[in-house]
Chains A and B, each alone.
Chain A
Amino acid sequence: DAGVTQSPTHLIKTRGQQVTLRCSPKSGHDTVSWYQQALGQGPQFIFQYYEEEERQRGNFPDRFSGHQFPNYSSELNVNALLLGDSALYLCASSSTDRGNTIYFGEGSWLTVV
């Protein structure tokens, strides 16, 4: 049973560029969330997708957007990258009808230079 998988694992972007991160949820899960974790801090909730719609959103600007596909996989897009967007981006998945426990992937390390 594959867990939550994310790609790429590491990437470097230049300030002002755009980035897309991808996530496949754990088998049987229909809800995907994204978190940002800056160095030395706990993960911060960005948004959550269920039934291909954004259901909840944290305190992040509109430069952060997402998408969920019919197979439940998801993408996180960040436009106009800033140096402060450098962080570990975590994808998490859960099921609305299987106990709701949230499981995390290993994350994508984004460095903005």
Chain B
Amino acid sequence: DAKTTQPTSMDCAEGRAANLPCNHSTISGNEYVYWYRQIHSQGPQYIIHGLKNNETNEMASLIITEDRKSSTLILPHATLRDTAVYYCIVRGRSNFGNEKLTFGTGTRLTIIP
């Protein structure tokens, strides 16, 4: 699996957009970028994933650069409940389609009131 690099921690003011960067310069053509978050003492929560196009859902937007070497997760209007550790993961596909997730250390995002 390709490695990812994320800042250790970030702060964001409540109500503002939180932009979380991720570098995955060794990503290969068939690997997806996944984002999960983990609120203290809970299981990781799926946020969004993409291959090469920008993606948006009810939780967030994912912007992937054209060369696919980096991406940014955007939480458009951060709330206190968005305080969590955010993991950027590059995931390939196994022979039967369900490749494991390899977690790094993530970014600890703190939303400031």
User: Are these two chains actual partners, yes or no?
Assistant: yes
**Hey, which bits of chain A sit against chain B, CB under 8 A?**
4, 31, 33, 35, 41-45, 48, 50, 55-56, 58, 88, 90, 92, 94, 96, 100-107
State how many residues of chain B have any CB contact under 8 Å with chain A: 22
A/B interface sample: 24 pairs, CB < 8 A = A4-B43, A31-B98, A33-B100, A43-B101, A44-B103, A45-B101, A45-B102, A48-B98, A50-B96, A50-B98, A55-B98, A90-B43, A94-B98, A96-B96, A96-B98, A100-B93, A100-B98, A101-B46, A102-B46, A102-B101, A104-B43, A104-B45, A106-B42, A107-B42
| Chain B interface, >50% SS class | loop
A-B CB contacts (within 8 Å), total count = 57
Instruction: List the B residue with the shortest CB-CB distance to A41.
Output: B105
Task: List, in ascending order, chain A residues with CB within 8 A of B93's CB.
Answer: 100
Pick the contact of B44 from A41, A43, A94 — CB < 8 Å?
A43
